[in-house]
Structure 1
């Protein structure tokens, strides 16, 4: 692997030395700033957006293609370097990619600009990410290595669909693109989680524990999820009744499959390790989300409850946990002993998930109150994370030479 840049790097140079550094820092800042803007717009009625940009659509879009895409970009650029041993994007190339991501966040907030401009910026960002991640892996001559960036690049057509809907070229594209992007992220988490969570548990508890897994059950889960996601996208896009019924029935099947999987990974010692329990808990929220999705048909539960179990609980907790673990592992620190404050940030986000999902289900008449409380807790969690991890992302590694560990890939 590459030798680390020496400690005499000029101030700020370390930030652009590795792909995870600027994108993870951008993701943390986006979680805070976008959360604040959402509160100002939703809870206090402040006009922030282009008049043709629906506020709920902006919120969903920024969580999928803004915050989550930044975490994914940092992760993918790190995975590619680990798997190929080749120098990854850095310096001006990396800065250009980050600025394209940032432009796509800022342009919708500028009055009078046409909506195709943020669409162009976001498309260029996602296309650039594809080139920088897939091209080095092509040299390995193995399709298996392309699976992760191959799934991630589907965010590009999802983004295009969303913006076609936003510009009223094809109005159903707004929902289709948003849900396609959302389910792509959820599918990536289910796939990646099934690979790394049991592995992390086995390596951390170190008492001979072996997580149980079933290859056929894993494959069945992937196939059922693809059909579920397709059915639900059709249901929300064109209100097709058969697709709606199919999606909720398959959600129950997915609940059974993934509840079986996660039960086989459990070890009581995982609660002693913040970067372990957060991934297990994130997966558990996704499993619970499938049950809540089924309950939309069975008892009339609001679909937003399941959506936030998936998003706030599943994607939110998993992304924060992965961000922290990758940062520690690739800045020369011990991922098994995270710095003080990590557990606080994770615990805040876990508490925010409970507030965002359960009271909104049981006491929907106070939905706005629960939403505001959960959003404030979300911001507080990421402010703590920023305080702890910004120095790690901005400064060079603490060890002089290294061979990168492979905590994720």
Structure 2
């Protein structure tokens, strides 16, 4: 049962009180709208290009959608980890404005302005996180600051190649960024999935092996290093297979089969399962058995889409004083994302000539999921907590 709400509480505007509020809302709206534009461009239905090519579709997925969710989550979690207030009010509004400017400038020919705005967003967020982290001395979380700095550098590098400053394949920066996001997902899943499982599903006893908690994220760092060194073929395929096996072992210890009656928990397990599948498919792609796009979309649509949706619903509920139980809208979002991922990953794999329909259908399902989230959680994210607590 949700806590009682005071008569005036539901009318108080609270969008700028904590980081998850504006960035979850902005990211979900952008995810719903931008993918439809890209699908229309891919199908040839737009008279003008929305983005200049697949590399920039990847850029907007990572820096337009994934990054603000990460920033919103870290600003929120950072306040919990340190006990110090993170960005709120006008500073948080200014950070959101930088993200909006970056999205607009990316669509313009002003490459240097776009580069500056896209790098400024994660770098400003890194500074905002570093201040409470250093004050409190939470050294185990310093690496999040470093990862935000690296993501800003990767985005800047992509724009620098666009304006001719760097002569480096833009896809290298895309892969580097995807590896960093994957590493963040693996680290955070290791922290929250066993915890949420034991607390949310009676009778579960998820296990954590000390060596595996280093080996599983460590394997992702090895893959990141291999990608940075431009390793390919059988060597990279072996590294990806080892990484997949380590993630699969880790997932099995969390007892996912016991979570089937708890959507708010099984969605996180399912997201981690997509990580395992992504690594396996990418290994097959390195052996030229399948296309690299298949593996990429197992990560972006399957793993990232599912984990973000699962975390956005759970943390939005938890940090607004609501019951930690998925309702029919949440479950609908989870299901839509799964169908979108299956259609985008497996339909072209089984029937290659259906690539275009798979892209269009998957985009519509993805847009429906995040559009539904935005509509459902608009009043949740913009109004004060129903239990009267700050946040």
Q: TM-score, length-normalised on structure 1? A: 0.89
Does 2:21 correspond to 1:21?
Answer: yes
Aligned residues: 386
Does the CA-based 8 Å contact 1:231-1:246 persist in structure 2?
no
| Cα 1:151/1:114, change in 2 over 3 Å | closer
Question: Quick check: 2:10–2:384 contact (8 Å CA) kept in 1?
Answer: no
Q: Compared with structure 1, are the counterparts of its residues 159 and 258 closer, same or farther at alpha carbon in structure 2 (3 Å cutoff)?
A: same
1:365 and 2:360 matched? no
Aligned to 2:80: 82
Structure 1, 71-80 or 135-144: larger mean CA deviation: 135-144
**Residue 218 of structure 1: how far off its partner (Å):** 2.5
Q: Tell me what 2:262 maps to.
A: 273
RMSD: 2.1
Q: Deviations over 1:80-132 (max 9, x none)?
A: 1112222221111111100110111112334xx42111111112212211111
Match among 262, 273, 285 for residue 284 of structure 1: 273
Give runs of aligned pairs for residues 339-378 of structure 1, distance below 5 A: 339-378=327-366
Distance 1:219 1:106 in 2: 40
C-alpha separation in 1, matches of 2:169 and 2:16: 35
Alignment correspondent of 1:124: 120
Q: Distance in 2 between matches of 1:170 and 1:245?
A: 29
User: Shift in Å at residue 194 of structure 1?
Assistant: 1.6
Match status 1:218 vs 2:216: no
Find the counterpart in structure 2 of residue 381 from structure 1.
Answer: 369
Q: Deviations over 1:290-343 (max 9, x none)?
A: 1111212446210111111111111110011111111000111012x1333110
Gaps in structure 1 of 5+ consecutive residues: 1-5, 236-241, 405-409
Partner of 1:95: 93
- The range that moved more, 68-77 or 243-252, is 243-252
Of 171, 185, 188, the match for 1:192: 188
Q: CA deviation at 1:279?
A: 0.8
Kindly indicate whether the alpha-carbon contact (under 8 Å) linking 1:76 and 1:149 is maintained by their aligned counterparts in 2: no
Q: Give how far 1:388 is off.
A: 1.3
Output one character per residue of 1:114-172: Cα deviation in whole Å (capped at 9) or x when no partner: 21111111122122111111111101124213233332332111112111112122132
Any gaps of 5 or more consecutive residues in structure 2?
1-5
1:32 and 2:41 equivalent?
A: no
CA contact 2:28–2:373 (8 Å) conserved in 1: yes
Report the 3-state secondary structure (helix = DSSP H, G, I; strand = E; otherwise coil) of the residue aligned with 2:14.
Answer: helix
Alpha-carbon distance, 1:77 to partner: 0.7
Q: 1:12 to 1:163 in 2, by over 3 A?
A: farther
> Deviation string for 1:22-61 (max 9, x for gaps)?
10000110101111210221112525458xx631011100
Segments of 4+ moved more than 4 angstroms: 6-12, 47-50
Distance 2:342 2:300 in 1: 12
Out of 301, 312, 315, the residue aligned to residue 301 of structure 2 is 312
